[in-house]
Structure 1
Amino acid sequence: MTRPDDKPLLLVITSGLRRYREYLLSSISTRYRVHLIDSVAADWELPYLAGSTVVPDTGAASVLAAARRIAAQQPVAGVMSWHEEHIVQAAVVAEALGLPGTPAAAVRRCRDKFATRTALAAEGLPQPAFEVVGDLDEALAAADKLGYPVVLKPRAAGGSQGVVLVRDAAELADQFTATRDVPVPHTPVFEQAVLVEEYLEGPEISVDSVVFRGRVTPLFVGRKEIGFAPYFEETGHLVSGADPLLSDPGLLRVLSGIHAALGCTDGWTHTELKLTSDGPKLVEVNGRLGGDLIPYLGMRATGVDPGLAASDAACGVEPTTTASAADCAGVRFFYPPANDTLIESVDFDRSALPPETDLLQPLAGPGDIVSPPRKGLIDGRIALATAVARNEQLCRAALDHAQAALRLSVAAAGE
């Protein structure tokens, strides 16, 4: 039996929101001693930690200094972060301490969507046509060149912030400033900060993969549900352990080519693609675990533990990727009816829900003022529900029941 003190030490940079990430720390702590580096004191994370360090900020310099102090006192096996704004910091620490991981330059290439596009274009990999622009006039010229509709996208943001579909010059002019001005901490200030891209027709998927010594193994395919057009709010996801795309030769070739072009060698990636009539085309690659409970859904659908697989890869240990289940798991998010909705209460009637119902989680509480997208993009959700079933039909039915069981009490509404 391995004693707690014998477990390898893993540095984790920031933990994120408990409701979305606790299951990861819970699994990882069974195999590794976790030391959390964050700008706030550990709280809910404490049962899973061997130690923690509070830094003045989570920029690369502060995080690296803290990591060096920890490594001077005891051996460190690996470092990881599942937070988009901190994956570069984790890569910088790994390089400085000689730990496993994708090179920092490649992680920066994922964070910078223009660098991603440029690297893929050099290899002829499938993606939308694109232009990078710095002002409205350049954006209008790019859209005329590409042809409407086009997608405006911040060069380095995440979570669909600032991403919008525009169908003509008037809509582009109306939306451009909001896209350009999305705040993105811990990234360079780009003079040309907006991508104008060809709009791709077709359903969107995400593929969470573990990468070990250059070998890309897709584990979970998320079938996305998008709402609140012209924005791209992710309102739900379905993950099937029997998804045929997990073994589709064409998709596997595209995934391998993308990772090779970007230089992703070790760790976890979240790749978003559109399934067009010409085959899969890349939307973007994130050098981290997927958000929105996608890894949790993957774990429930396949039996593969994403926390253990990701932490093993971060520590140079070949991860376990063999599925032990082939179920379907889904999540659905719920939103307020109007901008500036003042919440009295959010809950679910749990009295008559089917057995496939899994998590029922209010995300807003009394006194919160919440808005749907665009105003409430990302933080406009008031509740979520997940379901796990033996097939997609039963999973969707359970999510429908959860939606019908949502009980929202509103004190006042604005617009």
Structure 2
Amino acid sequence: MIKPHLLVLTPGLRAYREYLLRSIAPAYRVHLVLTEPPTWELPYLDGWTVVPDLADTGDLVRAATGLADRAPVDGVICWDETWIVQAARVAVALGLPADPTVIERCRDKHLTRAALDTYQVPQPASRLASDGATALAAARAIGFPVVLKPRAMAGSFGVVRATDEAEVRRFVNFTEESWRMAPELPRHDRNILVEEYAEGPEISVDSVVFQGEVTPVCLARKELGYPPYFEEMGHVVDPADPLWHDPTLRKAVGDTHAALGFTDGVTHTEIRLTRQGPKIIEVNARIGGGLIPYLNLLGGGADLGLAAAAVACGRRPPAQAASRRRPAAIRFYHPARDDTVVEEITFDPAGLPPQIVAYGPLAGPGEVKSPPPRMLMDGRIAYAIAVGDRVDECRAALAAAGRALRVRAG
């Protein structure tokens, strides 16, 4: 049987996304579109196309249709937040099921809010602002504390909590300047969202959506740090989490997808568990980041990479979870000081407990890294993953890994 032909738009960073290619390649002929010749990706590829600029949708479409003329493409997939709208447009050009309008509705957080409002899905109050004055007016109308965030960024870039008017004035430039991290993203006259602060633990739910049927597959609890910023320090995926049996949470996830008109694909929904119930923070029209789906896989859960590839090709994803599942968790580590010049990052093997199943550097020699707020997720220098029989066992193992981390700085 000939394997389906899958076009993947950009591989992403190796440390965060290689596991997806490793999962997909045995079952699909992967054709990668990227901006420079592949290196580490080569073992997973059936072919590749180099384009000058991923922002040039016309160039992407020409490359994809040229490929399809030689070998019909069965599906298009992208797990990089920056380029998911372009991937949807490529799919439409190839005659494959996709709706760029729906993807844009997820990509643009203001459009997400408007769609959820129409369906009365619980979410924080939100207003658009263009500068410090309008942000302050919005914060006064909503009531403190508030959260300032960019309209269409990802990875918590530019997101900060403000508890009073002075902090709004202080932090608004931090939010506005975050756009420099991704200048290829669309800009609007009003780029700042001012939102009600939803107090409570934060979780994410990765769902597989096929022909309108929403199936939550991976539920993760976030561990945040460096307040008032929202840096993701780690995640915990526990198959025994009682939230799996919360009907209010499941309804919120289902209603969110209905409001957005999202019928096919894999999504990453971020939610705050408030006293009033779950409130939707945002929806990403892609596989979750931060290695969350990899935690799900390592703990015996379904492979979200394979699920996303199947849906992209118009196929119902197969059931994949193992009979025995276990908790898995990840911790990210930052440098202690701003402008740390990395020379070498290692872990002392003698200090790693058996629950640590993966670990490694996220910065190479010569790179300059800083903790938040100077740098956010791009300031991470290392990670460790633990799989155990209990969540507290995983957390203890990750704490030990942090003590075993060795950073040699220049």
Shift in Å at residue 227 of structure 1?
Answer: 0.5
**Residues 262 and 8 from structure 1, CA distance in 2 versus in 1: closer, same or farther, beyond 3 angstroms?**
same
C-alpha contact 1:236 1:332 (8 A) present in aligned 2:
yes
Q: State how far apart, in whole Å, the 1-side matches of 2:46 and 2:113 are.
A: 40
2:38 corresponds to: 42
C-alpha contact 1:150 1:197 (8 A) present in aligned 2:
yes
1:197 corresponds to: 195
Could you tell me the percent identity over the aligned residues?
52
The answer for unaligned runs of 5 or more in structure 1 is none
**Residues 352 and 142 from structure 1, CA distance in 2 versus in 1: closer, same or farther, beyond 3 angstroms?**
closer
Question: Which of 83, 106, 111 in structure 2 is aligned with 1:110?
Answer: 106
2:119 corresponds to: 123
> Please, which moves more after superposition, 241-250 or 75-84?
241-250
1:87 corresponds to: 84
Shift in Å at residue 306 of structure 1?
Answer: 1.5
1:133 corresponds to: 129
* Paired AA for residue 110 in structure 2: F
C-alpha contact 1:37 1:53 (8 A) present in aligned 2:
yes
* Paired AA for residue 17 in structure 1: L
Q: Secondary structure at the match of 1:40?
A: coil
Q: State how far apart, in whole Å, the 1-side matches of 2:355 and 2:186 are.
A: 45
Q: State how far apart, in whole Å, the 2-side matches of 1:167 and 1:62 are.
A: 46
**1:334-381 CA-partner distances (Å, limit 9, x unpaired):** 111111112232111102422111111012233322100111112111
TM superposition outliers: structure 1 runs of 4+ over 6 Å: none
Q: State how far apart, in whole Å, the 2-side matches of 1:220 and 1:254 are.
A: 15
**1:268-317 CA-partner distances (Å, limit 9, x unpaired):** 10000000011110010000111111010011123311211110011111
* Paired AA for residue 68 in structure 1: T
Question: Which of 11, 16, 20 in structure 1 is aligned with 2:12?
Answer: 16
Q: State how far apart, in whole Å, the 1-side matches of 2:46 and 2:245 are.
A: 39
Count of residues in Structure 1 that have an aligned counterpart in Structure 2: 406
Q: Secondary structure at the match of 1:323?
A: coil
Question: Which of 307, 310, 313 in structure 2 is aligned with 1:312?
Answer: 310
C-alpha contact 2:35 2:54 (8 A) present in aligned 1:
yes
1:392 corresponds to: 391
1:19-30 correspondence runs (5 A) = 19-30=15-26
Q: State how far apart, in whole Å, the 2-side matches of 1:185 and 1:214 are.
A: 34
2:73 corresponds to: 76
Question: Which of 213, 218, 221 in structure 2 is aligned with 1:220?
Answer: 218
Q: State how far apart, in whole Å, the 2-side matches of 1:20 and 1:189 are.
A: 27
> Please, which moves more after superposition, 167-176 or 266-275?
167-176
Q: Secondary structure at the match of 1:307?
A: helix
**Are residue 230 (structure 1) and residue 228 (structure 2) matched?**
yes
1:56 corresponds to: 52
C-alpha contact 1:64 1:89 (8 A) present in aligned 2:
no
**1:362-406 CA-partner distances (Å, limit 9, x unpaired):** 122333221001111121111100011121121111111111111
1:12-411 correspondence runs (5 A) = 12-59=8-55, 60-101=57-98, 103-183=99-179, 184-324=182-322, 325-411=324-410
Q: State how far apart, in whole Å, the 2-side matches of 1:162 and 1:9 are.
A: 38
C-alpha contact 2:287 2:305 (8 A) present in aligned 1:
no
Q: State how far apart, in whole Å, the 2-side matches of 1:322 and 1:126 are.
A: 32
Q: Secondary structure at the match of 1:351?
A: helix
**1:102-140 CA-partner distances (Å, limit 9, x unpaired):** x11000000000000001011111000110111211111
Q: State how far apart, in whole Å, the 1-side matches of 2:248 and 2:165 are.
A: 36
* Paired AA for residue 250 in structure 2: L
* Paired AA for residue 274 in structure 1: R
* Paired AA for residue 64 in structure 1: V
* Paired AA for residue 145 in structure 1: A
Q: State how far apart, in whole Å, the 1-side matches of 2:186 and 2:331 are.
A: 34
Q: State how far apart, in whole Å, the 2-side matches of 1:260 and 1:131 are.
A: 23
1:7 corresponds to: 3
The answer for unaligned runs of 5 or more in structure 2 is none
C-alpha contact 1:9 1:77 (8 A) present in aligned 2:
yes
C-alpha contact 1:85 1:185 (8 A) present in aligned 2:
no
* Paired AA for residue 345 in structure 1: E
Q: State how far apart, in whole Å, the 1-side matches of 2:18 and 2:118 are.
A: 39
**1:69-92 CA-partner distances (Å, limit 9, x unpaired):** 111111110000000011111111
TM-score by length of 2: 0.96
RMSD across aligned positions (CA): 1.3
Q: State how far apart, in whole Å, the 1-side matches of 2:369 and 2:38 are.
A: 27
Q: State how far apart, in whole Å, the 1-side matches of 2:22 and 2:339 are.
A: 36
Q: Secondary structure at the match of 2:178?
A: coil
**Residues 321 and 248 from structure 1, CA distance in 2 versus in 1: closer, same or farther, beyond 3 angstroms?**
farther
Shift in Å at residue 185 of structure 1?
Answer: 4.2
**Residues 199 and 107 from structure 1, CA distance in 2 versus in 1: closer, same or farther, beyond 3 angstroms?**
same
**1:46-103 CA-partner distances (Å, limit 9, x unpaired):** 11101100011002222122111111111110000000011111111112222134x1
> Please, which moves more after superposition, 198-207 or 352-361?
352-361
* Paired AA for residue 24 in structure 1: L
